[in-house]
Every structure is written in C-alpha cells, then in structure tokens.
C-alpha cells in the first residue's frame, strides 16, 4: 500500500500535533514488517532533529512542492492532490484535522484525524477569524474524507454533534505516547536534570502550553493550601501572556512568586526525568481532545489529577483523580491526598500503569491500517 500523509506538523512542530504526526509515521513505518510505502508531503523541509527516525526508515520518503506552481499553504490546500495522483497514492491521511479542499474531486481515497473542536467548545480562546477558518477547513475535511479518525470518544461525539458526521464513518483510534516515557531513567540522569533546572525537593508538574484553556491558574492557586516547600513547575510556552494571569491569581491567593517555576523550550528528552521527579502531575484543563500529558505522567508512574468535563477521564481512566475546573478547594484536597501517599495512592499508580497499556503504539498502528483497509474497501 502507498500511503500519503500531510507532513506539515511532523516537520515543523515540536509538540502537540507534531508529536502525534511523527508517532503515527514512526509506528506505521514498522507495522506489517515495513511493507507499506509512506510518502510524507510537506510545504518545506526544516532542520528538525526529531525527524531522524523517519529519515532513517527505508520505506519513508519526503515530498515537497515542485519548483514551479503552488507553494506553502496553497500547495497544501490545492496543489498537493496532483502529486498524490502522480505518485499513485492509495490513501491520503490528513494527520492534523485537515485535507486538501479538492481531495474528493481528485478521486484519491482519504482519511482525516480530528483531534478536537475546542474552537467551538471554548470559542473565547480563539479570534473570530481563526474560529471561522478552523470551522470551515476542519468541517469540510470531515465531510469530504472517506473516513474520520477521532482520537477519543469525546472528539467522536463532537464530530457527530457539531459537523453532522455519520457515526459509522468515524473510527476512534487512541494515540499512544513516545516510548521514551516507558523507559526507566537512571539516578544519574535524574540528578543531572534536577540540578540543571534547579528543581526543589517536592514539586507538582503541569506540562503543556501556558494558556487559559489549560487552567494553570488553578494549579497555582492550589499551592495556597499546601506546605510551603511544595512548588509548581510549569513546562511549556506562554501563549497570549497567560503567565501574567497565573501570577496574578497566585498573588491573590497569597502564593509567593518563587513557588512557581516556568520552564520553556525544554528538550523532549528531559521530560521523563521531569515527570518522574514530580510528586503529582496536574492537568486541570477546561477542555481537551485527548490529553497526552495524562498518559505520559501515568507511564512515568506519577499520580495524576485532571479536570472534569471533556476527555481526561477517558485518557486517565479510574486510576486518575478529577476535579471541578473552577474549584480551588477540590484541587487542594486531591493534591494533598496524592502528596500524603500511602497504599491507596500507590495502588492508583499501579493501576494507572496498567490502564495505559491500551494506548500502545503497535495497537495504534494496527487500527490505523485497518481504517485504511476500510477506506479502500
């Protein structure tokens, strides 16, 4: 089978959709003993070290715009379909919510992965133009695709409700996480990372973009009800100046500024040690399509507390603990329980490690290949 992929995020993004795209490509490159040919279409090549495993795979090739014709986003939106036909691609997979607008007319079979519709569920997080653009592009892609992959049951429900996509056209395929989170971290590596970032003895960790939707302010406010030596480590880039709001909320709750440590531009390889050094992992998001930090934390055997109301209960299962995303008191209570430890917390960690086995990369690859076979059938 010749499979084409939208490679923009795999090439350009170091987090989020980039991680998902690379994980899918790497997993499929080894599936069925590497019998499939994978063509990755990207508007341009970037010097991204995270692409090394794909560049080394014998059955993965990168494709770029021709010297003459569409370039950049226009190529990705319109011009790419001619390349798919010329390369005799059997199935084209839009890995990050969208497909070329002319994919249906081209006759090339297509699959799109829909990650979330947060721009509809939390419209205030986006400008009016962005909301309309995402709604048009992602809605059109779901309607034009032969099949839709939803990364969670939550996203599947959203696609049915908001885009009127037939339920039998949607396959839920959970994503895995990078194997780096499943591997042990040596004591020496733990000490080195701890020293390099100046980490305290006890800290809570929240990984993800620092923005209103991720609700870091709730995590910061919860410090007000915890012992003074417990700090919060926030790993991610600041978006729209939300860090200022976090610090203002902390100040109103009497939390000293030095108890919150912001880490931006952290190398991917350092994340497992940062997770494993933490006492508790937090993700009190107001809405998520899946919530990969939940899986990463549980693979690293850290107790987890998340927000109720979207998909985090689906990702974390019964081993996780969940709070009202506006309740400081609930967050304090759950973090205290996790910090105190004991057999109940140890049991939750063990159960979490067992629960996340369902999010393994081989299963993900096998299920995606099954979606392609359905598409061709």
Environment class of residue 105 by beta-carbon count within 10 Å: exposed (0-12), middle (13-18) or buried (19+)? exposed
Same domain, yes or no: 26 and 136: yes
Domain check: are 59 and 105 in the same one? yes
Q: Is 208 left (phi over 0), alpha (psi -120 to 50) or beta?
A: left
294-303: average pLDDT: 95
| 222 and 369 share one domain | no
- Whether residues 123 and 249 share a domain: the answer is no
Do 49 and 75 share a domain, yes or no? yes
Range of the domain at 98: 2-176+360-376
Task: Please give the pLDDT value at position 48.
Answer: 86
pLDDT tens digits along 130-169: 999 999 999 999 999 999 999 999 999 999 999 999 999 9
Residue 360 has pLDDT above 90, yes or no: no
Same domain, 324 and 196: yes
131 and 252 part of one domain: no
Residue 177 has pLDDT above 90, yes or no: no
- Write out pLDDT tens, residues 201-233: 999 999 999 999 999 999 999 999 999 999 999
Mean pLDDT of 281-304: 93
Please tell me whether residues 108 and 89 are part of one structural domain: yes
- List of residues 6+ apart from 215 with CB closer than 8 A: 284, 285, 286, 307, 325
Note the pLDDT tens digit of each residue in 73-92: 888 888 899 999 999 999 99
Q: How far apart are CA 13 and CA 17, in angstroms?
A: 7
pLDDT of residue 72: 80
pTM above 0.85, yes or no: yes
CB-hemisphere CA count at 13 Å for 21?
A: 29
> Rounded distance, CA 308 to CA 325, Å?
7
Collapsing DSSP states into helix, strand and coil, what is residue 40?
Answer: strand
Q: What confidence tens digit (pLDDT) does each residue in 235-288 have?
A: 999 988 999 999 999 999 999 999 999 999 999 999 999 999 999 999 999 999
Percent of the chain with pLDDT over 90: 81
CA distance 62 to 42: 7
Does the pLDDT of residue 290 top 90, yes or no? no
**Shared-domain flag, residues 203 and 325:** yes
Residues 124, 214: one domain? Answer: no
* Whether residue 197 sits in one domain with residue 97: no
Confidence category of residue 343, pLDDT binned at 50, 70, 90: confident
The DSSP annotation for 53-120 comes to HHHH-TTEEEE---SSS--HHHIIIIIHHHHHHHTT-SEEEETTS---TTHHHHT-EEEEEE---HHH
| Cβ 280 vs Cβ 305: under 8 Å | yes
CB distance 155 to 290 below 8 Å: yes
Rounded-to-integer distance, Cα 77 and Cα 260, Å: 42
Q: Rounded CA gap, 32 and 34, in Å?
A: 5
CATH number at residue 76: 3.40.50.2000
**What's the rounded Cα separation, in Å, for the pair 71 and 67?**
9
Q: What is the pLDDT of residue 35?
A: 87
Q: Total structural domains in the chain?
A: 2
DSSP 8-class letter at 211: S
Residues 295 and 367 in one domain: no
| Region 182-204 average pLDDT | 96
- Who contacts 93 (Cβ-Cβ below 8 Å, separation ≥6)? 3, 4, 5, 6, 24, 110, 111, 112, 113, 368, 372
Per-residue pLDDT tens digits for 86-121: 999 999 999 999 999 999 999 999 999 999 999 999
Residue 15 scores a pLDDT above 90? no
Interaxial angle between packed helices 328-340 and 343-355, expressed in degrees from 0 to 180 and rounded to the nearest 10: 100
């Amino acid at each position: 089978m010749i499979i084409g992929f939208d490679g923009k995020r795999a090439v350009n993004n170091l987090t989020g959709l980039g991680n998902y795209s690379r994980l899918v490509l790497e997993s499929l490159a080894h599936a069925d003993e590497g019998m499939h040919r994978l063509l990755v279409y990207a508007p341009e090549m970037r010097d991204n070290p995270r692409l090394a495993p794909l560049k080394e795979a014998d059955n993965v090739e990168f494709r770029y715009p021709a010297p003459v014709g569409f370039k950049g986003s226009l190529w990705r939106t319109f011009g790419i379909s001619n390349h798919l036909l010329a390369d005799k691609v059997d199935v084209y997979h839009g890995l990050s919510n969208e497909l070329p607008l002319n994919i249906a007319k081209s006759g090339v079979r297509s699959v799109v992965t829909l990650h979330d519709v947060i721009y509809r569920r939390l419209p205030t997080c986006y400008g009016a133009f962005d909301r309309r653009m995402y709604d048009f592009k992602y809605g059109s892609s779901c309607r034009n695709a032969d099949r839709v992959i939803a990364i969670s049951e939550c996203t599947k429900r959203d696609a049915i409700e908001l885009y009127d996509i037939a339920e039998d056209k949607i396959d839920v395929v959970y994503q895995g996480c990078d194997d780096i989170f499943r591997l042990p971290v040596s004591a020496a590596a733990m000490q080195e990372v701890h020293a390099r970032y100046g980490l305290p003895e006890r800290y809570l960790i929240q990984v993800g973009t620092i923005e209103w939707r991720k609700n870091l302010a709730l995590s910061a406010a919860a410090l007000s009800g915890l012992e003074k030596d417990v700090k919060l480590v926030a790993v991610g880039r600041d978006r729209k100046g939300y860090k200022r709001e976090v610090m203002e909320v902390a100040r109103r709750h009497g939390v000293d500024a030095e108890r919150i440590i912001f880490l931006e531009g952290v190398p991917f390889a350092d994340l497992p040690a940062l997770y494993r050094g933490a006492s508790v992992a937090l993700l009190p998001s107001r809405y998520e399509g899946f919530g990969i930090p939940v899986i990463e934390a549980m693979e690293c055997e850290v107790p987890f507390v998340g927000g109720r109301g979207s998909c985090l209960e689906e990702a974390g299962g019964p081993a996780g603990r969940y709070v009202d995303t506006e309740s400081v008191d609930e967050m304090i209570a759950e973090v205290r329980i996790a910090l105190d430890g004991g057999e109940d917390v140890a049991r939750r960690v063990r159960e979490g490690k067992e629960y996340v086995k369902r999010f393994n990369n081989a299963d993900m690859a096998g299920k995606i290949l099954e979606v392609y076979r359905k598409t061709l059938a």
